[in-house]
């Protein structure tokens, strides 16, 4: 799941959630709900997260065995 990949990245990179939420233009509550899988992430929020982390858009995208993206 995308939210689990984002949570793992933040944890392994020792990124403070509160500071990251502010930089990504999210509330701490919204970020926490997203990272816990309690709230769906919007495309706008996803774009802001990868932009803030300076990552490519498909960095957290799950890939199938045949190389295609899940819908």
CATH number of the domain residue 43 falls in? 1.10.260.40
pLDDT value for 71: 42
Identify whether 65 is part of a domain: no
Identify whether 33 is part of a domain: yes
Identify whether 67 is part of a domain: no
pLDDT value for 13: 96
Give the separation between CA 25 and CA 60, rounded to whole angstroms: 19
Predicted confidence (pLDDT) at residue 69 exceeds the cutoff of 80: no
pTM for this predicted structure: 0.81
Identify whether 58 is part of a domain: no
Other beta carbons within 10 angstroms of residue 15's beta carbon come to 13
Angle at 61 between CA 27 and CA 9, to 5 degrees: 55
pLDDT value for 63: 63
Identify whether 68 is part of a domain: no
Give the separation between CA 2 and CA 35, rounded to whole angstroms: 9
Identify whether 60 is part of a domain: no
pLDDT of 29-68, one tens digit each?
999 999 999 999 999 999 999 999 999 999 998 764 555 4
Identify whether 14 is part of a domain: yes
Number of domains the chain is built from: 1
Other beta carbons within 10 angstroms of residue 21's beta carbon come to 20
Its domain, for residue 49, covers 2-53
pLDDT value for 45: 95
């Amino acid at each position: 799941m995308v939210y689990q990949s984002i949570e793992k990245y933040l944890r392994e990179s020792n990124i403070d959630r509160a500071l990251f939420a502010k930089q990504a233009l999210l509330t701490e509550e919204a970020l926490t709900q997203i990272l816990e899988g309690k709230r769906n992430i919007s495309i706008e929020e996803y774009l802001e997260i990868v932009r803030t982390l300076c990552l490519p858009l498909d960095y957290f995208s799950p890939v199938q065995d045949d190389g295609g993206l899940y819908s």
